[in-house]
Amino acid sequence: MKMKTAILIITAIALAVGFALFQISKSRKAATTAAQPSVSNNACLLGQGGCANQAQENTGVASLTSNELASMLLKKDFFFVNVHVPYEGEIKGTDAFIPYNEIGNSPDELPKDKNAKIVLYCRSGRMSGIAKEMLAKLGYTNVSDLAGGMLDWEKNGYEIVKK
């Protein structure tokens, strides 16, 4: 009898701990998702409304698909920055090369206007995501990056220029 009682108590404790861990995991995932919005709607970046996420509309921080960036490059009206280190190529139309980990220390290389449209990219999207958040913290209000970076750009049939 004591053995059955002990097994029941252990099972109840395991279920309670498992449920608590599930709730913690679920709340962390929700916080992470809310903290890292992504936009696939060009209208939001271009200030034409239609943002699915109100937080993005207020901060101007967004991610672009390769196809969206290709369309934007046809009528380029933004400052275009490669933040990847080391150099592994570039997308035609790039205005500057600023290492992602130095972007906060490079005010002379960035637009003076904190509302200027800035698009960042790197090889995979990781470095540009870090740089994007840094610029947002510095007060830039219209910053986006290429989701998936140059890898996604090439995967979608666009050219990477190697110098």
Give pLDDT tens digits for 64-75: 999 999 999 999
Amino acid present at 3: M
pLDDT digits (tens, 9 = 90+) for 111-122: 999 999 999 999
- Distance (Å, whole) CA 27 – CA 134: 25
Residues 60, 124 within the same domain: yes
pLDDT tier at 51 (50, 70, 90 boundaries)?
A: very low
Residue 55 and residue 109 share a domain: yes
Domain count within the chain: 2
Tens-place pLDDT, residues 122-152: 999 999 999 999 999 999 999 999 999 999 9
CA gap 126, 149 in Å, rounded: 8
- Residue 85: domain span: 42-155
Does 117 fall in a domain?
yes
Inside any domain, residue 161: no
36-45, 57-66, 70-79, 99-108, range with the lowest pLDDT: 36-45
Note whether 73 and 89 are same-domain residues.
yes
- 162 part of a folded domain: no
pLDDT digits (tens, 9 = 90+) for 75-102: 999 999 999 999 999 999 999 999 999 9
Straight-line distance from the first to the last Cα atom of the chain, in angstroms, rounded to the nearest whole number = 78
- Mark 57-96 as b/e (b = at least 16 C-beta within 10 Å): beebbbbbbbebbeebeeeeebbbbbbbeeeebbbeeeeb
